[in-house]
Structure 1
Amino acid sequence: MKVLTVEEVRQELRAPLLTSGRGSQALHDAIVAYRANRRSGTRATKTKGTVRGSGKKPWAQKGTGRARAGYASSPIWRGGGVVFGPQPRDFSKKLPKKVKRLALLKALSGRIAEGAVFFTETIELPQPKTKELLKRLDSWDRKETLLLVVEKRESAVWLAARNHPLIAVVSATEVNAEDLLWPDRVVLERPALPILDRRLDRGGKQS
């Protein structure tokens, strides 16, 4: 593997890299949306209408010397319902395609500027084994997290990487801005570059 310089990437990608602050807001919005979309939104509490218990009046309205009480599931009673508690909801956020594209371009530009993007030829393994994959990643520091961006989900690479806690594999058609930010190193397969180029082609003017 070798590290990609900004000039080398510019030769491979028609989409201009972002070297200024442009795209920072799009990147922030995309990360917030991706994380929100993973929330299940299933937490819930029981209200006075759903808590177990009858609606029978505990005692007479007058004459007992006690305070008035209408039902045992009252929120002010122990075992009663919860007032304004969380209920199931949808946390998902929708992003325009232009925002997703700009966020991906911003994330890739930032990682390239950091020197965290590496390049390799097509990854072909004789057997879907982790040790075979590690032989191909000879210059990789085994303490760093690694993201492999490949042309497609080739079964051998996918199976070889899934047993390693520090390696993740994603296809060029599925990779997003958040995927590029978490690892210490990003390794791009050469056949994946044209696919990324098509996705970033309308990323905007160079800035």
Structure 2
Amino acid sequence: MPKVNVYNVLGEQVGEMELKDSIFGVEINEHAMYEMVKNHLANRRQGTQCVKTRAEVRGGGRKPWRQKGTGRARQGSIRAPHWTGGGVSFAPKPRDYSYNVPKKVRRVAMKSAFSSKVVENEMIVLDELNLAEPKTKEMAKILANIKAGKKALIVMDEKNDNVIKSVKNIPNVKATLVSTLNVYDILNYDSFIITKGAVSKVEEVYA
């Protein structure tokens, strides 16, 4: 079983925690993680782009000049794609880019992401994280105490509005819950900061 140190908000080690091999010690499957990152980015796309085809562009109903005898190339409409102001060939239209990934692949990817953070020593476990009031300065001090990286993801087991509000004004720091955790966020941040309660919840959910 992999072991990690547990710290308090002052950056002092207050103990150790054993992690489940089946979640934090699995063989890392890079392809599964790639599939989940690709899926996450695809699902985020709005797909609202829209360009007009020659059928939708205004004008061009009359043939610009007669077919023969002018010495110029034959033309049927001034709204053909090769004309300025004409329609676009194979124009992009609104579409849904989202798709589903099999549940087994999702689970393998999540476990691989967790394990990669343990292997790379980017996982920081806190005994607890509570703030009496929203204070950006206080949160920045805590991150400095635990030596978090420039990009940090804070994972909690329960919603804490004070923590969420305190990180909003800190660049490249995000607070999230176990229930909304995804592979993209885990891999995108340098430091994976998680509370003991959240670790227990992760082991319960992905057991």
Tell me which interval the TM-score lies in, with the shorter structure as reference length.
0.7 to 0.9
Higher relative contact order (CA 8 A, sep 6+): 1
> Are the aligned partners of 2:51 and 2:93 in contact in 1 as well (CA < 8 Å)?
yes
Tell me which residue corresponds to 1:120. 126
1:174-201 CA-to-partner distances (Å, cap 9, x unmatched) read: 1111111111211111111122112221
Counterpart of 1:102 in structure 2 is 108
What residue in structure 2 maps to residue 185 of structure 1?
Answer: 191
Query: What do you get for the CA RMSD once the two structures are aligned?
Result: 2.2
**2: CA distance between counterparts of 1:166 and 1:65?**
64
- Identify if the C-alpha distance between structure 1 residues 42 and 171 changes in structure 2 by more than 3 Å, giving closer, same or farther: same
Deviation by residue 1:74-94 (Cα, 9 ceiling, x = unmatched): 122222112123333222121
Preserved contact between residue 13 and residue 193 of structure 1 (Cα < 8 Å): no
Q: Which residue of 2 aligns with 1:93?
A: 99
Name whichever structure is richer in strand by fraction. 2
Counterpart Cα distance in 2 of 1:51 and 1:12: 62
**Residue number among 82, 90, 93 corresponding to 2:88 in the alignment:** 82
Query: Which amino acid counterpart does residue 154 of structure 1 have in structure 2?
Result: N
State the shift of 1:4 in Å.
Answer: 1.9
CA distance in 1, matches of 2:159, 2:97: 29
Picking from 136, 151, 162, the partner of 2:142 is: 136
Closer/same/farther in 2, CA of residues 123 and 142 from structure 1, 3 Å limit: closer
Separation in structure 2 between the aligned mates of residue 104 and residue 146 of structure 1, nearest angstrom: 18
- Structure 1 residues 36-79: Cα deviation after superposition (integer angstroms, max 9, x where no partner): 11122222322111112141222233444433222211122222
Question: What amino acid maps onto 1:4 in structure 2?
Answer: V
- Cα distance in 2 for partners of 1:101, 1:68 equals 60
Secondary structure at the aligned position of 2:104 is classed as: helix
Q: Of residues 160, 169, 173 in structure 2, which corresponds to 1:154?
A: 160
Rate the CA distance shift 1:142–1:12 in 2: closer, same or farther, 3 A. Answer: closer
Q: What amino acid maps onto 2:39 in structure 1?
A: A
The range that moved more, 65-74 or 162-171, is 65-74
* Structure 1 residue 138 displacement after superposition: 4.5
1:155-174 matched pairs, under 5 angstroms: 155-174=161-180
Question: By how many angstroms is 1:158 displaced?
Answer: 0.5
Question: Mapping of 1:9-28 within 5 angstroms?
Answer: 11-13=18-20, 15-21=22-28, 23-28=29-34
TM-score under structure 2 length normalisation: 0.83
Partner of 2:52: 46
Aligned length: 195
